[in-house]
Structure 1
Amino acid sequence: MSQLTIPINDTDHFEGKADAPITLVEYGDYQCPHCGAAYPVIKKIQEAFPDQIKFVYRNFPLSESHPMAFACAVATEAAALQGKFWEMHDIIFENQRGLSNEALFRMAEKIRLDIEQFSNDIQKDTLSDKVEADFESGIRSGVNGTPSFFVNGTKFDGGAEDLFGMFREN
Structure 2
Amino acid sequence: MSDLPAGTDPYRHVYGAADAPVTVVEFGDLECPHCRAAAPVLRELVDTSAGRVRLVWRHFPLFEVHPHALTAALAAEAFAAHGRFWDLHDAAFAHQDRLGDPDLRRYAAEAGIDPDDVVGDRAQRWATAVEADYLAGLAAHVAGTPTLLVDDEPYTGPVTLTALRLRTAR
Range into which the TM-score falls when normalised by the shorter chain: 0.7 to 0.9
Give the Cα–Cα distance (whole angstroms) in 2 for the partners of residues 88 and 78 of structure 1. 9
| 1:58-77 Cα shifts (integer Å, max 9, x gaps) | 00001000000000000000
| 1:82-134 Cα shifts (integer Å, max 9, x gaps) | 121111111111111222111111111222223344457x6344301111110
Are 2:148 and 1:149 equivalent residues in the alignment? yes
Per the alignment, residue 107 of structure 1 pairs with 107
Question: SS at 2:9's partner residue?
Answer: coil
Give the Cα–Cα distance (whole angstroms) in 2 for the partners of residues 80 and 66 of structure 1. 22
- Give matches, 1:63-74, under 5 Å: 63-74=63-74
Per the alignment, residue 33 of structure 1 pairs with 33
- Which letter maps to 2:122? Q
TM-score if structure 2 supplies the norm length? Answer: 0.85
Identity of paired residues, percent?
36
Determine if contact 2:104/2:119 at 8 Å carries over to the other structure.
no
- Give matches, 1:15-54, under 5 Å: 15-54=15-54
- Which letter maps to 1:90? D
Shift of 1:25: 0.2
By relative contact order (CA 8 Å, sep 6+), the higher-ranking structure is 1
Give the Cα–Cα distance (whole angstroms) in 2 for the partners of residues 140 and 147 of structure 1. 15
Change (3 A) 1:33 1:109: same
- Which letter maps to 1:41? V
Determine if contact 1:13/1:56 at 8 Å carries over to the other structure.
yes
Give the Cα–Cα distance (whole angstroms) in 1 for the partners of residues 123 and 105 of structure 2. 16
Give the Cα–Cα distance (whole angstroms) in 1 for the partners of residues 93 and 55 of structure 2. 16
Residue-pair matches, total = 163
Determine if contact 2:106/2:115 at 8 Å carries over to the other structure.
no
Larger relative helix fraction = 1
Shift of 1:166: 3.0
Per the alignment, residue 166 of structure 1 pairs with 163
Question: SS at 2:162's partner residue?
Answer: helix
Give the Cα–Cα distance (whole angstroms) in 1 for the partners of residues 96 and 165 of structure 2. 28
- Give matches, 1:49-128, under 5 Å: 49-118=49-118, 123-128=122-127
